[in-house]
Amino acid sequence: MADPPPSDEKAELVDHVVAFKGYFKVGRYFFRHTLYQGGQSPVISREVFERGHAAGVLPYDPLRDEVVLIRQFRAGSYVAGRHPWSWEMVAGILEEGESPEDLVRREAVEEAGLEVGDLIPIHTLMVSPGAMSESCALFLGRVDASAAGGVFGLESEGENILVKVVPFFEARAMLDRGEIENAAAVVALQWLALHRDEVRSRWRQAGCA
């Protein structure tokens, strides 16, 4: 369990308005917070990009030692001047009442045509806490990658998603070459690099591989 936050770090919401609402929403928040040197800050204003909370899964076949990556067009990468197609893990935004585990199983079918077995929680991270309210729960998911591949996604949502099976050693090399820029995928692959032997042993002992 995480340690509780320091008792002298406190923030107060003074006001909130919706600055923009379209496909996504931007809120304008007004805060006061405690200062490390003592006292309280003046009221500060921050715009926050809001689209809910997310979850993602890195599909991994422990028997074949392969991961399944997806690739799709990303508007943010284009605007940033980066190559707009990105290697990623399966992910999506939580619907009301949906658990992160249910979400990643649903998205694995929609985005990659994969049925996910066992799930191992990796970490829940804040995507960009200086400007976004979004958190993302990351998982490693056991899959059979032997028949994975193809093009998936919901046409109604403008998705056109390439699915590729990658040997773990090659995925690690892609990281080293800077070919994977998606933050969640980087975190999940680095986690797998640290825990791969443990995961394979665990799933073998459970009769999963």
Please tell me the distance from the alpha carbon of residue 88 to that of residue 53, in angstroms, as a whole number: 17
The whole-number average pLDDT for the span 55-68 is 97
In this structure, are strands 150-152 and 90-93 parallel, antiparallel, or unpaired? unpaired
Find out whether 85 and 37 touch, Cβ atoms under 8 Å: no
Mean pLDDT of the chain: 93
Residue count (the chain): 209
* Domains of the chain as residue ranges with CATH: 11-50 (no CATH), 54-205 (3.90.79.10)
Q: Is the pLDDT of residue 207 over 70?
A: no
CA distances from 21 to 27, 44, 156, 195 (A): 9, 22, 21, 41
Instruction: Tell me which of 66, 157, 181, 198 is the catalytic residue.
Output: 157
For the stretch 193-205, pLDDT in tens is 999 999 999 998 7
Cβ atoms 175, 184 nearer than 8 A: no
Whether residue 101 lies in the annotated active site: no
2-44 pLDDT per residue, tens? 677 777 899 999 999 999 998 889 999 999 999 999 999 999 9
Contact criterion met (CB below 8 Å) for 192 and 183 = no
pLDDT digits (tens, 9 = 90+) for 150-183: 999 888 777 899 999 999 999 999 999 999 999 9
Q: Provide, for the chain, the percentages of residues in helix, strand and coil under a 3-state DSSP scheme, each rounded to the nearest 5.
A: 25, 40, 35
